């Protein structure tokens, strides 16, 4: 059968084989993406309506002298803060998580089992619990004890690192499992010190996982809402997601859609770049951890 399939038949092969499943998938894709695309489209609306199309314009990005993203300081602050958090948190979380993954992968005993439990706990804990508990730390302990958790960027970074730490741990560990220990042992046999072996063999080989987790953390942080809202210290530390929440039910202009669109573009850009880098590192391999890594099901 497959030998005689024409291109045309091939194209609809999925549909032929499973019409119901294909339809469900297609409908799902429409349902999940079209609303967002409409929201993006309305960021280009010429009027201030978010429901009536009034023609194309860049008014809400650059044109409007008061409320466009370019001229509304509040929106710009939010956008900048969003990316600032993304960057700082990624830079802290990924090294911290990678080290933890290496340690947990090789260290045997009860203590590492406990640490592993903590990682999994932080992965599945409902975010609001962590957010409220850190909010309590920031609001009740600051005056009494010395704690770094303060409302504002510092508190947000601490909360986000805590919440995101499990991603690099899980992804890098999954990669370490696929690599196995042979390469490292070979390096040691050839005379490398354990640290050199880690630096020269293990880290390069886990690079795809490190990149994947960096992308994942960055994209997740710039979308975060619960933690950053509770731990924000006022307007200058409210990222875009909080701005959306504060104004979505009030009377936002399409400038809100515009700023959300910019975050969306940044997210997709980061993912694309990350994917390309990941491909570069893994092009010689058949499988490099796969999607399973993204789910924590290492």
Partner 1 sequence: MPDRLPRGGSPAPRWLWPALAAPGTAWLLVFLVAPMYLVAAILFGTIDPILRRPIPVWNPADWDPTQFQYVWSRLSGADGFFGPALLRTALYVGTASVLCLLIAYPVAYYAARIADRRRGMLLAALIAPFWISYMMRMLAWVNLLQNDGLVNQLITLGGLFDTEIDWLGGRATTVVLGLTYGYVPYMILPLYAGLDRIPASMIEAGRDLGANRFQTWRRVTWPMSRPAVVTAVILTCLPMLGDYFTSDLLSGNPRTSMVGNLINSAVLTPGQTGQAAAFVLLLLLVSIVPMGLYIRVTRDGEATRT
Partner 2 sequence: MKQPGAWRAVERDISRRTFLKAGGGVAAAAGLLSACGGGTAGPGSPNASAVQIASPTNPVRWPIHDDVPMIASGLKPEAGSTLKIYNYADYLSPRVIKNFERDYSVNVELATFNDTEEAIGKIASGGLGYDIYFPSYDQIGKLVAAKLVQPLNQDYLANISSVWPQFTDPWYDLGWQYSVPYTTYTTGVGWRTDQVNTDVASLPNPYDALWDPSVADKIAIIDDWHVAMAMVLLREGNYDINSESSEDIALIRTRLLELAAATDPKVTITMYNDLPAGQLGLCQMWSGDVVNAVYYLPKGQRPDILRYWFPEDGRGMVDNDLMMILAGGQNPVAAHYFLNYLLDEQVSLANFGFTGYQPPQNVINPTRLVEDGYLPENLRTATVLPEWFDSGTRLLGMPIEVEQQWLNVWQEFKAGA
Give least dist CB 22 to partner 1, A: 7
CA 176/CA 205 separation, integer angstroms: 8
**Closer to partner 1 by Cβ: residue 65 or 79:** 79
**First-to-final CA distance of the chain:** 38
- Please pick, from the candidates 249, 283, 284, 287, the single residue that binds partner 2 as defined by CB under 8 A: 249
Give least dist CB 250 to partner 2, A: 5
H-helix segments, the chain: 7-11, 13-17, 19-42, 73-106, 110-124, 127-136, 153-164, 166-179, 182-189, 194-197, 203-223, 226-230, 240-248, 254-282
Q: Per CB under 8 A, does 87 bind partner 1? A: no
CA 54/CA 115 separation, integer angstroms: 56
Other beta carbons less than 10 A from residue 97's beta carbon = 26
CA 61/CA 69 separation, integer angstroms: 5
Q: Which of residues 168-197 bind partner 1 (CB under 8 A)?
A: 169, 177, 187-197
Give least dist CB 79 to partner 2, A: 15
Residue 149 interacts, among partner 1, partner 2, none and using kind-specific CB cut-offs from 5 to 8 Å, with partner 1
- Please pick, from the candidates 133, 142, 147, 267, the single residue that binds partner 2 as defined by CB under 8 A: 142
- Please pick, from the candidates 57, 142, 267, 282, the single residue that binds partner 1 as defined by CB under 8 A: 267
Binding site for partner 2 (CB under 8 A): 47, 49, 52, 66-67, 72-74, 77, 138-140, 142-144, 150-152, 233-236, 238, 246-247, 249-251
């Amino acid at each position: 059968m497959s030998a005689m399939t024409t291109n045309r038949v091939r194209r609809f092969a999925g549909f032929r084989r499973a019409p119901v499943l294909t339809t469900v998938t297609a409908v799902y894709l429409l349902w999940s993406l079209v609303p967002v695309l409409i929201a993006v489209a309305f960021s280009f609306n010429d009027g201030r309506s978010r429901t009536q199309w009034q023609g194309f314009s860049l008014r809400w990005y650059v044109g409007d002298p008061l409320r466009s993203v370019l001229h509304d300081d509040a929106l710009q602050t939010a956008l900048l803060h969003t990316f600032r958090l993304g960057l700082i948190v990624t830079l802290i979380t990924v090294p911290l998580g990678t080290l933890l993954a290496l340690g947990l992968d090789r260290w045997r005993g009860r203590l590492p089992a406990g640490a592993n439990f903590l990682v999994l706990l932080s992965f599945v804990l409902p975010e609001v619990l962590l957010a409220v508990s850190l909010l309590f730390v920031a609001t009740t302990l600051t005056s009494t004890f010395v704690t770094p958790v303060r409302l504002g960027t510092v508190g947000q970074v601490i909360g986000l690192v805590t919440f995101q730490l499990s991603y690099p741990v899980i992804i890098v560990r999954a990669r370490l499992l696929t690599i196995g220990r042979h390469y490292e042992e070979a390096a040691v046999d050839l005379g490398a010190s354990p640290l050199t072996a880690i630096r020269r063999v293990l880290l390069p080989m886990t690079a795809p996982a490190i990149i994947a987790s960096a992308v994942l953390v960055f994209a997740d942080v710039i979308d975060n809402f619960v933690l950053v809202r509770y731990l924000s210290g006022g307007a200058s530390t409210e990222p875009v997601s909080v701005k959306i929440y504060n104004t979505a039910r009030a009377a936002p202009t399409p400038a809100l859609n515009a700023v959300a669109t910019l975050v969306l573009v940044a997210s997709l850009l980061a993912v694309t770049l990350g994917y390309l880098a990941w491909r570069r590192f893994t092009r010689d391999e058949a499988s490099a951890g796969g999607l399973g890594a993204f789910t924590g099901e290492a």
